[in-house]
Structure 1
Amino acid sequence: MSSTLPEQSGGTVQDRVQQGRRNAFLFAGAAGLAGLMFGLDTGVIAGALKFLGQDLKANDRALEWIVSSLMLGAAAGSLLAIPLSHHRGRRGAMFYAGLLFLPGTALCSLTSSIPVMILGRVCLGLGVGFGSFSAPLYIAEITEKSRRGKMISMYQLVITAGMLLALLSDSLLSYGGHWRWMLGILAVPTVVFILATMQVPYSPRWLAMRGRRKEAHTVLQQVRGSKQRATEELNRIEENLRKTEGNGFSLLKSSSGFRKTFALGIGLQVFQQFAGINILMYYAPHILEHLGFSTSAAVWCTTLLGLANMVSTFGAILLIDRWGRRPLLLVSTVVASLSLAVFGTLLYLHVGGVFGQIAIVSLLVLFILGYAFGEGPIPWTMCTEIQPLQGRTLAIACSTFANWMTNWLISNVFLSVMGAIHDYGVFWLLAGFNAVFFLIGYFFVPETKDCSLEEIEDRLKAGFPLREIGQPSRLKADTAMVVQERDSLPV
């Protein structure tokens, strides 16, 4: 597996830089197809669930396991991706993810039993876990700092596009209840993803970690468009590597700064799931039918939610490197919390009729718009940016594992919890989780816009508070001052 793009030659410096950016965009786009598979495999179950449940004679508890088994596999995959990514690279992990999608798709679409369906979903989950760990990491390591937030957020956009395509396919096939086609058609984009991963290069940071300096320089020159820029960045990477000894576990023991970013990464991913997005994506047709919508209307309304998810994520991409990470996250949590609180109140008051249905769908769309504006893309972006190089693989794997385990937990118990505390109680609870997410963002999340990964790590090592490890202005002077004050303290 190797890149087919040549090194830049000829033209002005600006032309070569622009070509390098185009190459980086293509490589990141190919990696982002992992997000498409993520969205397709997680989104398709919403429309297929009722029909496969009828054919396989599954009760609510079995349906919860069918939905949540993918997340359980993804949680395991995010941990297994640590050694795989170390030995085979981020690109290798994405390639093996694609290989897992094929048998998983076959098992799910051809099965006649619940256990085989669950086995197929676990297989898909392993692939999703490999991809959700390695793709954002690959994109962060191959993209220049001024475009990193936008490119990582595009991964989230592709996830939402995958969900929308899956929901649209479900809607078109729902009239005949063709759930096997809903699940089996995913084999086509799987083949495209496998072929795409064979064309991208290894990330330069991974190559440098493996001592493959010449290859790392070649890749950097391809994506930066300038030999000088490639050399300067490679020197910074190697200098950072020389300062780094041991592995992520040893850094976790020795560095209080890393323990803080490690905990923050896990917290961001956990509360991204407690925000409630995947409850709606997986169970929206079930919820809407419970509220009086017809089956076809429920599936089409869910498709509308998928469209809102993609549109709002696109807006976040346009603004993340202009406004910054923190403003998007804070606005997002406020909108999500308020919309769910009002939605739960409407359910409590049993508002019905045409007005009630319009209000219900409008509030769900508002929640999706708010979530996708910040809570969706920001955790994935931040988790790749705030972790030091030595602990990056461990931290991202653990935060991704936490994301999937939380996803599994809420999808595995949602129907049961709704039966225990009623539908309005569930959505009030989710509104509270979004309010807590706001507090985490306000007090702990740094602004990393326009900071290189090396600058963020330098500030972390210098002992800056967690919320201040971004902010590139006066970086060297601020860092030197903190180090001087620290060294002047009496022993």
Structure 2
Amino acid sequence: MANSKSSKLVTFAASIAGLLFGLDIGIISGALPFIVNEWNITIHEQEWVVSTMMLGATIGAISNGWLSAALGRKNSLLVGGIMFGVGTLGCALAPDIFVMYVFRVIQGFSIGIASFAAPLYLSEMSDKSVRGRRIATYQLMVTIGILAAFLSDTAFSVQETYSMLGLDISNWRLMFAVLMLPSILLIFTVMSMPKSPRWLASKGRLVEARKILREIRNGEREADEEYEDIIRSLSVKQSGFALFKANPNFRRSVFLGMVLQFMQQFTGMNILMYYAPKIFEIAGFSSPTEQMFSTAFIGLAFVLATFIAIAMADSWGRKPALKIGFTVMGLGMFGLGLLLKYVLEGDAPAYFSYLAVLVSMVCIVGYAMSAAPMVWVLCSEIQPLKGRDFGIACSTTTNWASNMVLGATFLSLLNGIGTAQTFWMYAAFNFMFIVVTLMFVPETKGVTLEKIESNLMSGNKLRDIGA
């Protein structure tokens, strides 16, 4: 963007939404062992503590198709920030597991809104030359949130922390309570953000749309050319579900978005986030502190590798990153399953425990440089303007529904088909996703949203709509 101040504000505000997303993913990983100790909950109740957030996020993503269209991307993020604060406070004060479920759903609802609205807002506000990096920066903040949560969890898992702070409180309650701070930051930051010019134009507020474009682009000529492209996109008669029913080309982009989000989740990487301490317990780390320090290394690898993704998004492109990432994750999940198999059989030397941490980090690096940011980038790019809210609502809902399935089944799979077999299953998914990427995923780097839409609506093959 030409206007440096506007550029930084837009990126910062949307990235705070990513920070909340990451903090919530990371916090439950460290909090869960302490919740289990305090309430003595079953395996299935543990799965529901994790997955009720995804249930709420699924509902939030569905609802935000309407919310984002009616209120705009900016106000959607504001609603998400307020609800996250309510859900977080409720979790920190929950007297029992059932109250925890309710506020985890509220927390999840807000994350569903943020995960929908933030990448969409960034894609609509960013110039084509930096669009991939802007959305990858959002993903960077997700990873920083996860790392911050892991570090916070580690600190609060050490009893000395409470003596130093003069506190006598259950560890996991403080883990949740610290999330109030970024929630408040998001609310105040969003208030100063400009509205999306594409959303304004879709509501007939054309003067405002042109004004904002001129503020965020390289001069009036570039802004006016983009404005004319937006007006042409709005000439499509149908919108939303009506367009989905009437136009087979739009249906293709909707289904591609849903497949991309399914692929992102069934890489299995989020189980490394939600259940990292459990996985490292299986690997041979017996104390909660050892498990939490190992988990923090996972978060650190996630952050560092996301910097690679930011560099790749607008240089290498989306498709090469996905192919490399799925290969790395497939090999990594196979190797992790093999290591855990030997550890559980009692035939493994002590250093296999550390190898398990290292291989988990390799898996996360593969994810961070590929599916984690690139799927959100692609899903925000491939939908036509008149169907963008509906299309991204469908793909984001798929993301959270798939995420919920992962969270609600992982421990049961370990007990059912076995530890090694569970990780090998996810390895097989990753190898399948390489084929899907080659056959259907387009390369969209450096292409305007309106050009992608034109290629899609002209009936080009999905893998060619970025040409």
What interval of TM-score do these two structures reach, taking the shorter chain for normalisation?
over 0.9
2:458, 2:393 → 1: CA distance?
Answer: 25
Kindly indicate whether residue 109 of structure 2 is the aligned counterpart of residue 113 of structure 1. no
Q: CA offset at residue 231 of structure 1?
A: 1.8
Cα RMSD (Å): 1.2
Which residue pairs with 1:30 in the alignment?
13
Which residue pairs with 2:164 in the alignment?
none
SS of the aligned residue for 1:53 comes to: helix
Q: CA offset at residue 356 of structure 1?
A: 0.7
Which deviates further from its counterpart, 345-354 or 185-194?
345-354
Which residue pairs with 2:66 in the alignment?
83
2:337–2:423 contact (8 Å) kept in structure 1: yes
Amino acid at match of 2:242: S
Kindly indicate whether residue 432 of structure 2 is the aligned counterpart of residue 436 of structure 1. yes
1:29, 1:103 → 2: CA distance?
Answer: 22
Q: CA offset at residue 427 of structure 1?
A: 0.2
Query: Identity across aligned pairs (percent)?
Result: 41
Q: CA offset at residue 178 of structure 1?
A: 1.3
Which residue pairs with 2:294 in the alignment?
301
1:268, 1:21 → 2: CA distance?
Answer: 32
Which residue pairs with 1:218 in the alignment?
211
Q: 1:288 aligns with which of 280, 285, 289?
A: 280
Question: Paired residues, what number?
Answer: 453
Unaligned regions of 5+ residues in structure 1, if any?
1-16, 472-491
2:4, 2:393 → 1: CA distance?
Answer: 28
Which deviates further from its counterpart, 21-30 or 143-152?
21-30
CA deviations over 1:12-70 (Å, ceiling 9, x no partner): xxxxx74x244223212211211110011121010111101211221111111001000
Kindly indicate whether residue 373 of structure 2 is the aligned counterpart of residue 389 of structure 1. no
Q: CA offset at residue 255 of structure 1?
A: 2.2
Amino acid at match of 2:426: L
1:270–1:406 contact (8 Å) kept in structure 2: yes
Amino acid at match of 2:386: Q
Which residue pairs with 2:167 in the alignment?
none
Q: 2:305 aligns with which of 305, 312, 316?
A: 312
Q: CA offset at residue 448 of structure 1?
A: 0.4
2:249–2:457 contact (8 Å) kept in structure 1: yes
1:21–1:225 contact (8 Å) kept in structure 2: no
SS of the aligned residue for 1:201 comes to: coil
2:223, 2:451 → 1: CA distance?
Answer: 17
Instruction: Kindly report which structure 2 residues correspond to 1:46-195, keeping only aligned pairs within 5 A, or say none.
Output: 46-176=29-159, 178-195=171-188
2:383–2:391 contact (8 Å) kept in structure 1: yes
Which residue pairs with 2:412 in the alignment?
416
Q: CA offset at residue 225 of structure 1?
A: 4.3
SS of the aligned residue for 1:352 comes to: coil
1:91–1:202 contact (8 Å) kept in structure 2: yes
Amino acid at match of 1:451: V
CA deviations over 1:205-264 (Å, ceiling 9, x no partner): 00001111111112111111422222221111112112x112222222232222221111
Amino acid at match of 1:180: R
Q: CA offset at residue 145 of structure 1?
A: 0.4
Kindly indicate whether residue 331 of structure 2 is the aligned counterpart of residue 321 of structure 1. no
1:315–1:373 contact (8 Å) kept in structure 2: yes
2:257, 2:366 → 1: CA distance?
Answer: 21
Kindly indicate whether residue 465 of structure 2 is the aligned counterpart of residue 469 of structure 1. yes
1:29, 1:165 → 2: CA distance?
Answer: 17
Which residue pairs with 1:274 in the alignment?
266
Amino acid at match of 1:161: I
1:158, 1:396 → 2: CA distance?
Answer: 20
CA deviations over 1:263-309 (Å, ceiling 9, x no partner): 11101101111111110101010111122202111111111101111
Amino acid at match of 2:265: Q
Q: 1:372 aligns with which of 368, 372, 386?
A: 368
Q: 1:39 aligns with which of 19, 22, 31?
A: 22
1:447–1:467 contact (8 Å) kept in structure 2: yes
Kindly indicate whether residue 402 of structure 2 is the aligned counterpart of residue 402 of structure 1. no
Q: CA offset at residue 96 of structure 1?
A: 0.2
Q: 2:198 aligns with which of 205, 208, 211?
A: 205
Which residue pairs with 2:445 in the alignment?
449
Which residue pairs with 1:342 in the alignment?
335
1:418, 1:445 → 2: CA distance?
Answer: 32
2:25, 2:353 → 1: CA distance?
Answer: 26
2:147–2:296 contact (8 Å) kept in structure 1: yes
2:240–2:388 contact (8 Å) kept in structure 1: yes
1:96, 1:125 → 2: CA distance?
Answer: 13
2:227, 2:351 → 1: CA distance?
Answer: 60
Unaligned regions of 5+ residues in structure 2, if any?
160-169
Amino acid at match of 1:106: L
1:140, 1:56 → 2: CA distance?
Answer: 44
2:432, 2:253 → 1: CA distance?
Answer: 18
Amino acid at match of 2:139: Q
CA deviations over 1:328-357 (Å, ceiling 9, x no partner): 000000010011112112222335333211
SS of the aligned residue for 2:158 comes to: coil
2:447, 2:283 → 1: CA distance?
Answer: 47
2:27–2:176 contact (8 Å) kept in structure 1: yes
CA deviations over 1:83-134 (Å, ceiling 9, x no partner): 1111110111100001101111111101120011111111100100111111
1:42, 1:284 → 2: CA distance?
Answer: 11
1:280, 1:97 → 2: CA distance?
Answer: 26
2:14–2:122 contact (8 Å) kept in structure 1: yes
1:254, 1:111 → 2: CA distance?
Answer: 47
1:362, 1:43 → 2: CA distance?
Answer: 19
1:28–1:142 contact (8 Å) kept in structure 2: no
Which residue pairs with 2:350 in the alignment?
354
Which residue pairs with 1:260 in the alignment?
252
1:21–1:224 contact (8 Å) kept in structure 2: no
Amino acid at match of 1:446: P
Amino acid at match of 2:354: I
SS of the aligned residue for 2:204 comes to: coil
Amino acid at match of 2:305: S
